[in-house]
Every structure is written in structure tokens, then in C-alpha cells.
Amino acid sequence: MEPKQLIHYESCPLCKGRKLYSFISSEDYFLTHEVFNIDSCSDCEFKFTNPRPDQRDLPKYYESTAYISHSNTQKGLINKIYQLIRLYAIHSKIRLIKKFIQKGSILDIGSGSGEFLKEIQKKHFLGTGVEPNPGARIFAIENYQLNIIDETEIKNLNQSKFNVITMWHVLEHVYDLDERLKQIQNLLNENSIFVVAVPNIKSWDAKHYGKFWAAYDLPRHLYHFEPATLRKLFQKYGFKLVKTKPMIFDSYYISILSEKYKASKLNFILGVFKGLISNLRAMMAGKNYSSLIYVFKYK
């Protein structure tokens, strides 16, 4: 891939502070091997990819059949394991949602190839998906007969209201956080919930792997969250955090990929071992798992 135009930000996307420092530089180990930087805000500690590719160029960084949420591929051991774990995780997500909302309408932003929406529609929910990748969107429509729209059509949903909005490992990909969160405000019913899952840069595996940590996923991940900065972001828009839940399998998957990026010969075995350590560390401290689900209530 040829180098693309980079957009440099002079202020923090969260607090608009202008005192920034370089947090870490890492490589796009997944696809291009270009080097990108993550900046941190001195005022609020929010971390974001800076500079980043222009929005028009970002789709190029997803163009690989190995990008699982888009291709639904089962080739290779890691991808087969991912698919098995994903099915378990989907039902765990549905159980979590039903603790707050028993039935109604749900909008899944970043619905990928549609497996989550397919399953939750069996549980008294009417689902709509938003997916920018045309291959994943067409797969979900043709294979599962789901209602999936392109990301550019979110603005056309203004007359719709949803009981639940979900973003599973999607918020870190959103180009304009302010615009997206304002859209979500307008799309939620009263007493509705917004469920977000993101990687946690405060996790043990993030600290252990440093620049090789697969969940940095530069430049596809534009923001790099921790619990404190995510709460600050959502407080700006009137959301109240009511529950967090660990995604315990993420540490294994991320650690296996991280070992692969380090070119470890025993990447699978080492990854499983390091993933276990990360979960045990988080369990003992009661926080900072590799990835976390946050449930927010609105109004």
C-alpha cells in the first residue's frame, strides 16, 4: 500500500486540551507495516492515534480477507478458535442486554457479518444493523436476511428510536466521536441502554506487549480507551455507567496475535499462557481485563 495522506490533530478529541505527548509508536502488523504514533493528552490522559490517515483512505486498511469481522473466515487455527468463542460471546452479550431490556428494538452499529443480530432477533428484539464494509453487509443481508444499512445512512434513522444500541469493538474505529455520540443520543428512547465494548489499554497484556499489543491495531483503532477516559467521554453526553463486564476470552486472542507480531515460534502456546496471566491479574485486582463491556443508561 502506498503511503496515504495523514491528518494531524493539535488538540485532544475528549477535552480539547492542547498539551499532547507521544505515548507509544507501533506498526500496522496486520497489513501495511507502516508506523503510526499514539498521543496522550496531558490534561485528561485520553489517548488517540495521531496523525491518522484521512477518512477517505481508512477503508484501504481493512481490505484483507483475514479481517475476521468482515469476512467471517474460518481459515487457520486462530480464526477457527475465534469463531467458536464468538458464538459463546454472542449469547453472553444477549444475556447481559436482557438483564436491562427484555424486548424491543436494537441498533447494532458495526454489525459486521451479522451473527450477533441474527441471534438476538430470536430473543424478542427487532434488529437493525449498520455496517460500512460492503462485503460484510451483503453477506449479512443475503445469508441471514437482516436489515443492514451503510454507515452513511445513519442520518436517515432520525425518525426511529431504539431501546438498545450496541457497538462491539467499534467505538475505537469511529472517525468523529462527537458526531457519532450525538447521533446515538438522538436515536435512543427514554430509559434505553447503550452497550459498548472496547479494548483496555490499562490491562496487563497491553503493558506486557507494549508496541506489539495487537489491540492497538493501528491505524484502524483511532482511540485507545481505559475505564476512566471512557466514563469521561460518555458523561459529556448524559450517559450514566451502570455496569461493566469483562470479556475474558479477548486476552487470549489478543495475546496470541501479539505473540505472532513478535514473531514468537510458540505464539499460540505463549499467547494462551500470557492471556491467562492477564485474566488472573485482572481478577485479583477486580478490574482492567483486556477488554471490557460498558452498559450505559440514557435519561
Q: Are residues 221 and 298 in the same domain?
A: yes
Alpha-helix runs per DSSP H in 215-266: 227-235, 250-261
Q: Are strands 104-109 and 162-168 parallel, antiparallel or unpaired?
A: parallel
Q: Are residues 5 and 99 in the same domain?
A: no
Listed in sequence order, the residues at least 6 apart from 165 whose beta carbon sits closer than 8 Å to its beta carbon are 106, 107, 108, 109, 184, 187, 188, 192, 193, 194, 195
Express as a percent the part of the chain with pLDDT over 90: 83
Q: Are residues 201 and 299 in the same domain?
A: yes
How many of the other CB atoms lie within 10 Å of CB of 127?
23
Q: Determine if the pTM surpasses 0.75.
A: yes
**Residue 25 and residue 210 in contact, taking contact as beta carbons nearer than 8 Å:** no
Q: Given this model, what pLDDT does residue 88 score?
A: 87
C-alpha cell recorded at residue 101 = 431490556
Residue 259, domain member (yes or no): yes
Q: Which domain holds residue 89?
A: 74-168
Q: Which residue has the higher pLDDT, 184 or 82?
A: 184
Q: Given this model, what pLDDT does residue 299 score?
A: 72
Q: Given this model, what pLDDT does residue 78 score?
A: 63
- Chain centre to alpha carbon of residue 297: 19
pLDDT at 70 exceeding the cut of 90: no
Q: Are residues 201 and 260 in the same domain?
A: yes
Give tens-digit pLDDT for 7-40: 999 999 999 999 999 999 999 999 999 999 999 9
Q: Which residue has the higher pLDDT, 298 or 93?
A: 93
Mean pLDDT computed over every residue of the chain = 92
Q: Are residues 58 and 204 in the same domain?
A: yes
Give tens-digit pLDDT for 206-234: 999 999 999 999 999 999 999 999 999 99
Q: Are residues 80 and 37 in the same domain?
A: no
Domain boundary among 168, 185, 207: 168
pLDDT at 68 exceeding the cut of 60: no
Q: Are residues 208 and 163 in the same domain?
A: no
Residue 291, domain member (yes or no): yes
Domain boundary among 153, 168, 183: 168
Task: Output 65-73 pairs: Cβ under 8 A, ≥24 positions apart.
Answer: 66/30, 67/30, 69/110, 69/112, 69/113, 69/136, 69/169, 70/112, 70/113, 70/133, 70/135, 70/136, 71/113, 71/135, 71/136, 72/112, 72/113, 72/115, 72/136, 72/139
Q: Are residues 14 and 79 in the same domain?
A: no
Residue 111, domain member (yes or no): yes
Q: Given this model, what pLDDT does residue 96 score?
A: 97
Q: Given this model, what pLDDT does residue 286 score?
A: 78
Q: Are residues 42 and 82 in the same domain?
A: no
Residue 187, domain member (yes or no): no
Q: Given this model, what pLDDT does residue 1 score?
A: 53
C-alpha cell recorded at residue 193 = 441502554
Q: Are residues 80 and 222 in the same domain?
A: no
Q: Rounded distance, CA 6 to CA 59, Å? A: 14
Domain boundary among 151, 168, 185: 168
- Cis omega before residue 134 (within 30°)? no
Q: Are residues 237 and 273 in the same domain?
A: yes
Give tens-digit pLDDT for 253-299: 999 999 999 998 899 999 999 999 999 999 998 789 999 999 999 87
The pLDDT of 97-126, averaged and rounded, is 96
Q: Given this model, what pLDDT does residue 263 score?
A: 92
What CATH code is carried by the domain that includes residue 83?
A: 3.40.50.150
C-alpha cell recorded at residue 146 = 437482516
Tally the domains of the chain.
2
Q: Given this model, what pLDDT does residue 158 score?
A: 77
Residue 182, domain member (yes or no): no
User: Comparing 55-64, 122-131, 229-238, which segment has the lowest mean pLDDT?
Assistant: 55-64
Q: Rounded distance, CA 209 to CA 212, Å? A: 5
pLDDT at 176 exceeding the cut of 80: yes
Residue 85, domain member (yes or no): yes
Q: Are residues 5 and 92 in the same domain?
A: no
Residue 286, domain member (yes or no): yes
Residue 216, domain member (yes or no): yes
Question: In the chain, how long is the greatest CA-to-CA distance?
Answer: 54
Closest to 242 (Cα-Cα) out of 283, 191, 284, 276: 191
The pLDDT of 98-104, averaged and rounded, is 96
**Residue 271 and residue 255 in contact, taking contact as beta carbons nearer than 8 Å:** yes
